[in-house]
Chain A
């Protein structure tokens, strides 16, 4: 089996995912196309050498439907021979796209491929695609399906994570994101997004709030209490977890990931193709894994996929020098830290989705890029990147500098 190398990683800034967000006027295909153009231009690529572009997208309907990856390839003026495929593994779609791109390279099916993702949450809102998982009574009953926010609150209740714990984590995420921007840690990865006239509309993550504090967060009402108590979802959760007397609703907009627009891409290829094109590999893909986990609590997959990937890589927890876990909800990260006894200064060191947002289909590529930049900046050997996933799954990738 061959090896797969990372040659580049770029992302758009993340715009507030509402009609007043700076990226709302940009079509999702254009967000993806500008990422693809940046990869081509930064690396002076003849795109005919790229075999495939895999893009995650979680709401693949409307203008994000019909294989947006192929549309983006064409809009970015890539060679006609470059194929495109859309991938949906919910929140880990982009990381899965990277893993599949790497797998193609390792298997010898492709020499060079791009894995990434796109999501304009302001233009194609969550819930636009329906789906058996949340609406078909045969499925929802059998699997005790609850919304993700309730799942995050189950984690908090089951593992003793308090509202204060979650809020303190969120405050720190905001601080780290602000500090990272101040130190220009993302400088190498950010592709400012331009409008139809070619003017830059956004060059920074729009939702960071450096002045967030415990007092401010303390004033926010739990976001999922009404849904849990009034609509019956808490009862469903307790049917699955009867050891819990009640669900402690700790999450709100301030300690959960933000709704944003954005896109990202990672250039992956074989050693030979990199050499032929005169590219310098930044890291290699050491291991990849995906796993299914209990779907009601839903968001504990990172724990189990981490165990799986470490085993596959022949590594132990101690071998990992940097951890990056998507901040879907504070409790997801806090539980993960608890499960593996990870210190806060080893994980999500540049802040995460609570501060900068979680453009669902693109996040996996964004946080892998962040981890890559960070191990280069701090001269670390490796990083483990993972995300929790809807319906109870986890996907992970270990990257290693070369």
Chain B
């Protein structure tokens, strides 16, 4: 009868609705399931032989993991608000029908009851899955550690839109509800129960039986908020003066976290605030209205596309050549135990691989392993890691100075000093011992892969895997095939990145690859602003306010002025007459050679970093770079900081450094933290329109220099009106 629900009725007249979405590994709400679920609810309510129902999952993978974001991604294309609202309210309406038995709230308040629905939560219950459970009259959860509850909607610019923002505060109180709905972070069953969001935790095998027990014992029921005199835990809704500080505080924290870039967070607060003043049936309509405004926004569509759909595709190896079978990467060799090598060894061992960590002397190799030891100690002290697991993980990292220890590795990642001669030596010594089908990947950031591959006897097995520092924190990895790289190294690189759960993009073998080709002009722009006398606090605040994780001046300190100067010098040497000055050369020289401010770790940079205190701008900065009398508006500063990145991305895309809009967006967000609310620079250009982008870039080029001039390809798009992303 149903394709997605296993519907049984037992001898006691209790129905079981076991959700089992057809052709999917995980249950999610899609149009087909929603339709069938309503029919099943109607059946339970309409059949006199059925006394109540248990809702559960027939899949081991979880209870129900939310809405099918692909469906939501499409529905934004609906033209009319009214239609979009109707679609958005559908699940809310059905869940409310399950809760009330289709009866009017007034009748329930006067004493009528309905048939019981109990949720038997036997796995992950996220988003719409959590909401399904909350709409049931009773919730039993399995004691399996896999059982988690949460509302991840906010991470793609949405809000819990099937009653989540209404039932949660009515059960758990306003403060808990705001935390759950705005953080997006799941909580375990024990915490969920402590917040009154589930009723019972029972052994995994008994979860359905216990739910049935409750149904049998409670044949007439209704939701707490359909009782007369219902009160919110901890204060009667937003009109209670005791709740005012909760909203005032939550709004401030939310603004601090989002910098006004994520409307979903404000709208979640509004759903809870306004919803706590009005009756439940009005409240869920409001929730669906707020949901509709988000779903119809370009921002949410961009976030869903980049942060969910395209991210998943990239991590599943979208760019992987299908001709190569999945590789067994159980043991890897890491050459060089410096900062990068140490970090790569850590993430590989953490992902369960054996690591041979090689350096010139034992002390250096051990020092590289110390990085893992320190991170593990931190994990243990925070209770996130057990001593046993830490020991097992550390045992996987074998330090050595002997190339022979590399003989049985499945992949080499080289992270030695950025000197062509050193690299050549290491490549030759390594290839002498490793198997001939073992891929050699170099983590160079400055030397072209094709020229490095010339040192290899097997250039077809040679590739670049560019990690960002610190490796354990940075989610992006750039994969750079050289001219002679075959399918094998690309497959190996993607398989490795998949194992360490990072996001890969494939880019061209050009100077700086993709991410650094954009970060450099961005940092330079901020330094030029300092030279112009623009208030440094304004520069960094504007960057943070437009969604960057830290300001560009603070980022310059992190990457260090010393490295900036070195990169600039080597570019000068390499390019000779073709070198195009950035205008920041003198500033870097001054910082490094005159002022001794070489970066955060050596003497400070734009900021001072007092031990144990908060960083603050170097007080003498304005002596060397006096503030201009007329300061630009925050909007002007933001525009410059945004467009220096957009134009650099556009140039990379036009020059095929990065091959598709999805990779450009993923690389931007996960590589250098480009404002995630945009869905990435290419999504942003599509949203504002190529014509607007070109017009603004031209205006900035006129005012500030040719570095803002947009590439020809974008002028063409501006004329044709074509988008970079094809409609889904």
Residues in A lying within 8 Å of B, measured CB to CB: 127-131, 134-138, 140-141, 144-147, 231-233, 235-236, 238-239, 242-246
Contacts and interface: CB of A to CB of B under 8 A. Distances in A.
Interface residues of B, number: 38
A330 B259 CA distance: 30
A376 B391 CA distance: 85
A127 B257 CA distance: 25
B703 interface: no
A137 B251 contact: yes
Interface string B614-627: 10110000000000
B541 A128 contact: no
Contact of B252 (A146, A242, A243): A146
Interface in B217-247: 238-241, 243-245, 247
B537 interface: yes
Contact of A135 (B273, B542, B637): B273
B256 interface: yes
B61 interface: no
A147 B542 CA distance: 23
B545 A242 contact: yes
A68 B61 CA distance: 63
Contacts of B326: none
Contact of A231 (B240, B253, B634): B253
B545 A232 contact: no
A121 to B, nearest CB: 15
Ranked 6 nearest A-B pairs via Cβ: A232-B256, A235-B256, A137-B269, A242-B541, A245-B537, A232-B252
B532 to A, nearest CB: 15
Given A136-B273, A243-B537, A243-B631, A141 B260 contact: yes
A371 to B, nearest CB: 35
A232 B634 contact: no
A327 B22 CA distance: 70
B253 A232 contact: yes
B545 A144 contact: no
B244 A141 contact: no
B241 A130 contact: yes
Interface centre among B245, B251, B266, B270 (most CB of A within 10 A): B251
Nearest to A146: B252
Given A145-B251, A231-B249, A235-B255, A242 B270 contact: no
A232 B253 CA distance: 5
A127 B255 contact: no
B538 A239 contact: no
13 contacts: A130-B244, A140-B247, A144-B255, A146-B252, A232-B249, A232-B253, A232-B254, A235-B256, A239-B255, A239-B545, A242-B537, A242-B637, A245-B616
Contacts of A232: 249, 252-257
A246 B616 CA distance: 9
Contact of A236 (B243, B255, B538): B255
A251 B255 CA distance: 24
Contacts of B273: 135-137
A146 to B, nearest CB: 7
A76 B45 CA distance: 65
Interface in B632-675: 634, 637
A135 B247 contact: yes
B155 interface: no
A32 to B, nearest CB: 23
Contacts of A239: 255, 259-260, 541, 545
Given A239-B545, A242-B545, A246-B616, A138 B266 contact: yes
Contacts of B252: 140, 146, 231-233, 235-236
Contact of B241 (A128, A144, A236, A243): A128
Contacts of A129: 241
B306 interface: no
A243 B635 CA distance: 12
A135 B243 contact: yes
Contacts of B634: 242-243
Nearest to B617: A245
Contacts of A140: 247-248, 251-252
B612 to A, nearest CB: 16
Interface string B397-436: 0000000000000000000000000000000000000000
Given A129-B241, A236-B252, A239-B545, 8 more contacts: A128-B241, A130-B238, A136-B270, A137-B269, A141-B269, A232-B252, A239-B541, A242-B637
A233 B253 CA distance: 7
Contacts of A243: 535, 537-538, 541, 631, 634
A5 to B, nearest CB: 41
A147 B429 CA distance: 66
A244 B537 CA distance: 6
Interface centre among A128, A145, A146, A243 (most CB of B within 10 A): A243
B309 to A, nearest CB: 29
Contacts of B274: 136
Contacts of B256: 232, 235-236
A194 B208 CA distance: 71
A238 B41 CA distance: 51
A223 to B, nearest CB: 16
Contacts of A242: 537-538, 541-542, 545, 634, 637
A401 to B, nearest CB: 44
A280 to B, nearest CB: 46
A245 B551 CA distance: 12
A128 B631 CA distance: 42
Contacts of A246: 614, 616
A115 B248 CA distance: 33
Nearest to B243: A135
B545 A141 contact: no
A234 to B, nearest CB: 8
A245 B249 CA distance: 22
Interface in B509-542: 535-538, 541-542
Contacts of A231: 249, 252-253
A400 B317 CA distance: 82
Contacts of A147: 248
Nearest to B267: A137
Contacts of A141: 251, 254-255, 260, 266, 269
Nearest to A228: B252
B642 to A, nearest CB: 14
Contact of B270 (A130, A138, A145): A138
A137 B537 contact: no
A331 to B, nearest CB: 20
Contacts of B266: 137-138, 141
Nearest to B277: A136
A231 B256 CA distance: 9
Contacts of B536: 245
Nearest to B268: A137
